[in-house]
Amino acid sequence: MRFQIQRYNPETDKTPYLKEYELTDIPIGMMLRDALLQIKAQDESFTFRHSCGEGVCGSDAMNINGTNGLACLTPVSKLAEPIVVRSVPGMPIIRDLVVDMSQFYHHYRAIKPYLIVHDPMPEVELRQSPEDRDKLDGLYECILCGCCTTACPSFWWNPDKFRGPAALLQAYRFLADSRDQATNERLQDLDGPYRMFRCHTIMNCVTVCPKGLNPTAAIHKIKTLMLKEMI
Amino acid sequence: MSWRAQGLRTWLLQRLSAVYMLLFAVSFGIYLLQHRPIDYTWWSDLFTRPAVVVASLLFFAALLYHAWVGVRDIMVDYIHDTVIRFTLWILVTLFLIAMGSWVSLILLSMVEI
């Protein structure tokens, strides 16, 4: 099986380039992450991020044959050859497939990804009805792998100002939470031409999300909430 | 959230202008299909009615506003140099104002009050 893997060493290379590798032993059900580990055994200078190997940690987001995804959840048998693996687009490359995610985390921190409660804290935990808890389904599952945000053209054009689909999905996760009391502040913070309204419903985020989540729907719900608050 | 919320207001007005344009285009189209064949006298008589002229003026206002926001969105996405973007935006605004004035002159010159 033929692979073309993006390689980049900042000390020796001016720009990233693709390097050919060949694997002969492909067991049934082999995921791309396993293949990359075999390639790393061939060529120890190659590096990529990975950890849990089962789509929970979100470390091995990469661009596989032109589409973002998690290497650990992508079976090589479903990929056309040569399998072209690059780092996720729109992020500064540190080395090979490893990118600098600082900008991504900056936007995540900026939406205040924690409950804000103005009332005095109760002595027991904050209660929530099962119905209210259900409203967080499809939101809390995000593993922050960055597949969606780095597939978003709006994020490519304005990475410093547009929050990106991952952060906006999380913004709605806290807006939708019955225990959160900062609805108005959160909405005010997302107004303006850049932070949320750069989204043009391109929906690349929905296509690539390895967890099957829908940031576009979440962004739409934030807009609906804003409208309700205004009226 | 208040009406001064700039991002929300622009987005909402652009959506509303689209709804109006859709309603106008569909209903005007159906109306035209019902009155075939259309000749010059029928067409110029139609635009002497104030209701038609007002509805058409609103359509062009919606169209120009929609275009204004749309072009600004494209420029915010792709042009990051403030001076170039500002200059282009002024030019686009002037162009749209000129188009709006022209279409208003034509429509208002036909109406019989």
Reference A126, options A176, A175, A173, A181; nearest CA is A181
Q: Which residues of B touch A227 (CB under 8 A)?
A: 1, 8, 12
pLDDT at residue B6, as a whole number = 81
B2 has pLDDT over 80: no
**Considering chain A, what is the average pLDDT of its residues?**
95
pLDDT class of B3 with cuts at 50, 70, 90 = low
Interface test with A, best of B15, B72, B77, B89 (most A CBs within 10 A): B77
Closest to A226 (Cβ–Cβ): which among B1, B10, B73?
B1
pLDDT class of A110 with cuts at 50, 70, 90 = very high
First to last CA, chain A: 59
Give the C-alpha separation, A61 to A177, whole Å: 28
pLDDT class of B1 with cuts at 50, 70, 90 = low
**Closest residue on chain A to B77 (Cα):** A157
Average pLDDT on B38-49 reads: 91
Note whether A84 and A43 are same-domain residues. yes
Is B104 in CB contact (< 8 Å) with chain A? no
Note whether A122 and A92 are same-domain residues. no
- Domain holding A178: CATH number? 1.10.1060.10
Closest to A193 (Cβ–Cβ): which among B2, B7, B78?
B7
A56 has pLDDT over 70: yes
More confident residue, A230 or A39: A39
pLDDT tens per residue across span B56-86: 999 999 999 999 999 999 999 999 999 999 9
B112 has pLDDT over 80: no
Closest to B5 (Cβ–Cβ): which among A154, A198, A226?
A226
pLDDT class of A95 with cuts at 50, 70, 90 = very high
Note whether A143 and A188 are same-domain residues. yes
Give the C-alpha separation, A113 to A207, whole Å: 24
- Number of structural domains, chain A? 2
- The nearest CA of chain B is from the CA of A114 a distance in Å of 21
- The nearest CA of chain B is from the CA of A200 a distance in Å of 9
Q: Which are the contacts of A212, defined by CB distance < 8 A and separation ≥ 6?
A: none
Q: Which domain range does residue A148 map to?
A: 102-230
Interface of B with A in 29-48 (CB under 8 A): none
- The nearest CA of chain A is from the CA of B62 a distance in Å of 20
Note whether A72 and A164 are same-domain residues. no
In contact, B108 and B53? CB cutoff 8 Å: yes
Q: Is 3.40.640.10 the CATH classification of the domain at B6-110?
A: no
pLDDT tens per residue across span A135-194: 999 999 999 999 999 999 999 999 999 999 999 999 999 999 999 999 999 999 999 889
A&B contacts, CB < 8 Å: 47
pLDDT at residue A204, as a whole number = 96
